[in-house]
Chains A and B, each alone.
Chain A
């Protein structure tokens, strides 16, 4: 079986098409970072402004969005409201979310409060880079981060075997139900 990060990167790229998954997920990445692709995994090498003095303007989209993905037919999600009866027969103090994986190599991804940023004037930047390519200063195998997706919160789970499961609780016991599109609901791994 391929490494879990390769499965994650491929699953998200196949689903979102124009987007690649950041790996490791907490890695700091900026517009203008450049690097190579190893399959669907981006390996950064530097930044076009810092290394090549290529300037660009950034445009931020003010609207917010939510993205989610789960491996088809192999991930099931059960929402358990606060007060649901637990396996011990006691009502739960917090709302929770149970995620079951029926196949190996399955992915659950949820990002709430998504904001988009992109490089403005791609035409101009592209012409400059093409000029560098012609003078052998820019390898064709090098790619530039031209769009960036920032999330207010994100939950990522990768299963390594069939039958795996995970339960997440709302951090606050004031939350009656978990809404994955609500970035203000903080989740934590259940005890």
Chain B
């Protein structure tokens, strides 16, 4: 019996893939605007601030060694 308040329901059989893990490019250090030492050692994805990082690379303030490929949480 389905109440009108149910927005979505599915009962799946074999072969269904409900979950998956993602990997992507991450930075070993992360730029934190306004902090005393702006480059902090923190594992985070870089995609939100990529334009900034590209500028930093162009200005030789960081290098591609800063990046690695790992799990995205």
Complex Cα–Cα for A16 and B19 (A) = 9
For the complex, is A93 an interface residue (Cβ under 8 Å from B)?
no
A-contacting residues of B (Cβ < 8 Å)? 1-25, 46-47, 50, 53, 64, 67-73
19 A-B pairs with CB atoms under 8 Å apart are A4-B8, A16-B19, A18-B73, A26-B16, A27-B17, A134-B64, A140-B24, A140-B67, A145-B21, A145-B22, A146-B21, A147-B21, A154-B18, A155-B11, A155-B12, A158-B7, A166-B9, A189-B2, A189-B11
Q: Which of A37, A125, A145, A162 is the one whose CB lies under 8 Å from B69?
A: A125
A158 touches B9 (CB 8 A): yes
Complex Cα–Cα for A31 and B69 (A) = 16
Complex Cα–Cα for A144 and B1 (A) = 39
Most buried by A among B2, B21, B50, B67: B21
Residue on A nearest B21 in the bound complex, by CB: A147
Complex Cα–Cα for A52 and B18 (A) = 26
A187 touches B71 (CB 8 A): no
A130 touches B69 (CB 8 A): yes
Q: Which of A140, A146, A165, A183 is the one whose CB lies under 8 Å from B47?
A: A140
For the complex, is A63 an interface residue (Cβ under 8 Å from B)?
no
Residue on B nearest A183 in the bound complex, by CB: B14
